[in-house]
A and B are shown apart, each in its own frame.
Chain A
Amino acid sequence: MKILVAVKRVIDYNVQIRVKEDGSGVVTDNVKMSTNPPDDNAIEEAVKIKESGKATEIVAVTVGEVKAQETVRKALAVGADRGIHVKTDSVLEPLAVSKILQKIVDKEKPDLVFMGKQAIDDDCNQTGQMLSALLNWPQATFASNIEVKDNSLEVTREIDEGLETVEINIPAIVTCDLRLNEPRYASLPNIMKAKKKPIEEINVSDLGIDITGRIEQLKVEEPPKRKAGIKVANVAELVQKLKNEAKVI
């Protein structure tokens, strides 16, 4: 079984986001970038499945600028076998990314595609579902547990009401929640070894698809700030304030 894992490079989750003064976006220059956190879970899960003997190959793919390749390198360092970097400098909407990934799926013919449930920059939560629509494959989104069966996966999904379990036949798409597993760190020897693993570079223009954006970003601004509150001295004061000042209890 072959698993394709999609990894995106995003601003690190610890970075305090700053909005550009001209309203054109957020500051990305000299800002720490990392792999989108749930994509680390996607890689980890693929590696665990391979270690259990149920997968034979893991291919990590990213779509983005030159530096996006770092995310593929990191995936290789924790256990992916080879990488694909679809190169583009354009900012892509999930629809475009899913069309690109569809081309990669056509070429690689994986049995499974693992992705993150949501990119923490655009917070779109779309790409996996869109890819499964384009492929007409089953989708198990927000996965917090995966059991591999003969020709299917049994996936536990985190939903608003609690948990849901579905069985999806292979080939299939899974989008991963952070609770799926504990991503491992790459060891130094493995980071060295990963440098020798192959990464295929593909120009997005060679894929013959229209990736023009459909959504114009008119303006990016800071959210309204909350006005500063106060510290109360003790519980009695807190309850009194809630009752008589805020009038919420």
Chain B
Amino acid sequence: MAVLLIAEHNNKELRPFTLNAATAASQIDDEVHAVIIGQNSEPAAKKLSELPIVKKVISIEAPHYENFTAENFAPVIIKLAENYSHIICSANTFGKNLMPRIAAHLDTSQVSDVIKVISPDTFIRPIYAGNAFATVKTNDEKKCVTIRPTSFEPCESSGGTAPIEKGEAAEEFSNTKFIKREEIKSDRPELGTARIVVSGGRGMQSGDNFKLITDVADKLGAAIGASRAAVDAGYISNDHQVGQTGKVVVPDLYIAIGISGAIQHLAGMKESKVIVAINKDGEAPIFSVADYGLEADLFEALPQFMEELNKLNTIQK
């Protein structure tokens, strides 16, 4: 039986992690079908049909799908589920919100946040904030799996010509009403997929001081991250939080500034290829995962860092 991938999108475009979830799906079975539920989502459906991994696209449209409410999406997927062995999507807030609602209806025990596919029924997933890896085998006939997108490469996004079939909408769930979404728009790369991430913690002392970080980030073409403490203190908005209860990032370079390195923060960044820590406390746990540690006051180090970057002839983008 084929695998059903749930596409994440904004009606116009696919969200980037759909490509990572597609890769994971293709490691389970060659026959990957993708469902896209939305309103006026033809442009995103077309992009989905161009992923060479995807053999068929099922497009389902209705006004009540415009805002991606789990209560509306779940019944659609449940109807499709009989034809599939697995249902897959990313373990980001979209998938975390939606998949358990599907799994419970199918009487399936969901496997969350998979970082490796061993076989169609066996997976590795982190537990305890990534302090242990569990290999788990699901014995449910139908498998509901969310994958950690940063653990899978994005798939090829062009060249495919999968047919797009229209699917049937389900009734609207009237007890949940979408009110609004406040997306923080920025020209910087997305935190989840950026090549470089520069993150600030409580050591930044104020939101205004984050300017020191934005300067460096802009110079490096980097995304901006933060610890929970920095978000809680209101220095920066919640979508920047890295960690066990925020986002997981795996950039080529992660620069942690004024962040102590609590395990809940490490859970979100310790797989980064190169880690830099700037902290005035030489004993800070962040240094135990840093490839390059600089024990210094960030208010001196960051302006110097800018200066040194300005001296470079070229900077990789």
A226-B270, A249-B316 known; A215-B109 Cβ under 8 A: yes
**From residue B109, how far is it (CB to closest CB) to chain A in Å?**
4
Residues of B close to A117: CB separation below 8 A: 245
A64 within 8 A of B: no
**From residue A178, how far is it (CB to closest CB) to chain B in Å?**
6
Q: Mark contacts of A1-24 with chain B using CB atoms, 8 A cut-off: 1 yes-contact digit, 0 otherwise.
A: 000000000010100110100000
List the one stretch of B40-48, B58-66, B157-165, B177-185 in contact with chain A.
B177-185
For the side of the interface on A, what is the size category? 35 or more
Q: Using a CB-CB cutoff of 8 Å, which residues 130-147 of chain B contact chain A?
A: 130-140
Query: Are B231 and A164 touching (Cβ within 8 A)?
Result: no
Q: Mark contacts of A100-124 with chain B using CB atoms, 8 A cut-off: 1 yes-contact digit, 0 otherwise.
A: 0000000000000000011011111
Q: How far is the CA of A125 from the CA of B238 in the complex (A)?
A: 18
Query: Are B135 and A217 touching (Cβ within 8 A)?
Result: yes
Query: Are B113 and A123 touching (Cβ within 8 A)?
Result: yes
**From residue A118, how far is it (CB to closest CB) to chain B in Å?**
7
Query: Are B97 and A142 touching (Cβ within 8 A)?
Result: yes
B1 within 8 A of A: no
Q: Mark contacts of B289-305 with chain A using CB atoms, 8 A cut-off: 1 yes-contact digit, 0 otherwise.
A: 11111111000010011
Residues of A close to B128: CB separation below 8 A: 11, 17, 26, 120-121, 123
Set A94, A122, A132: member contacting B127, Cβ < 8 A: A122
**From residue A69, how far is it (CB to closest CB) to chain B in Å?**
23
Residues of A close to B140: CB separation below 8 A: 214-215
Which residue from chain A places its CB closest to the CB of B304 in the assembled complex? A235
Q: How far is the CA of A228 from the CA of B288 in the complex (A)?
A: 7
A167-B176, A248-B196 known; A126-B100 Cβ under 8 A: yes
Query: Are B294 and A231 touching (Cβ within 8 A)?
Result: yes
Q: How far is the CA of A232 from the CA of B134 in the complex (A)?
A: 36
Residues of B close to A178: CB separation below 8 A: 228, 232, 245
Residues of B close to A234: CB separation below 8 A: 294, 296, 304
For the side of the interface on B, what is the size category? 35 or more
Query: Are A129 and B104 touching (Cβ within 8 A)?
Result: yes
Query: Are B274 and A123 touching (Cβ within 8 A)?
Result: no
Q: How far is the CA of A241 from the CA of B294 in the complex (A)?
A: 12
Residues of A close to B168: CB separation below 8 A: none
Q: Mark contacts of A200-234 with chain B using CB atoms, 8 A cut-off: 1 yes-contact digit, 0 otherwise.
A: 00000000000001111111111100101111101
Q: How far is the CA of A144 from the CA of B130 in the complex (A)?
A: 24
Query: Are A235 and B274 touching (Cβ within 8 A)?
Result: no
**From residue A236, how far is it (CB to closest CB) to chain B in Å?**
6
Q: Mark contacts of A126-161 with chain B using CB atoms, 8 A cut-off: 1 yes-contact digit, 0 otherwise.
A: 111111111001111110100000000010011111
B36 within 8 A of A: no
Residues of B close to A96: CB separation below 8 A: 109
B27 within 8 A of A: no
A192 within 8 A of B: no
Residues of A close to B110: CB separation below 8 A: 94-95, 124, 126, 130
Set A13, A133, A213: member contacting B101, Cβ < 8 A: A133
B194 within 8 A of A: no
Name, among A124, A129, A154, the residue most crowded by chain B CB atoms within 10 Å (CB to CB).
A129
A239 within 8 A of B: yes
By Cβ-Cβ distance, the 8 closest A-B pairs, closest first, are: A129-B100, A133-B104, A130-B104, A214-B109, A17-B131, A229-B291, A126-B100, A165-B179
Query: A-side interface residues toward B, CB under 8 Å?
Result: 11, 13, 16-17, 19, 26, 38, 93-96, 98, 117-118, 120-134, 137-142, 144, 154, 157-169, 172, 177-179, 213-223, 226, 228-232, 234-236, 238-239, 241-243, 246, 248-249
Query: Would you mind naming 30 contact pairs between A and B with Cβ atoms under 8 Å apart?
Result: A17-B263, A26-B128, A26-B131, A38-B245, A96-B109, A123-B128, A123-B129, A124-B110, A125-B113, A130-B104, A139-B176, A158-B93, A160-B192, A161-B181, A161-B183, A161-B239, A163-B182, A163-B237, A166-B69, A166-B179, A167-B176, A213-B109, A215-B109, A215-B137, A215-B140, A223-B130, A226-B270, A235-B304, A239-B312, A249-B309
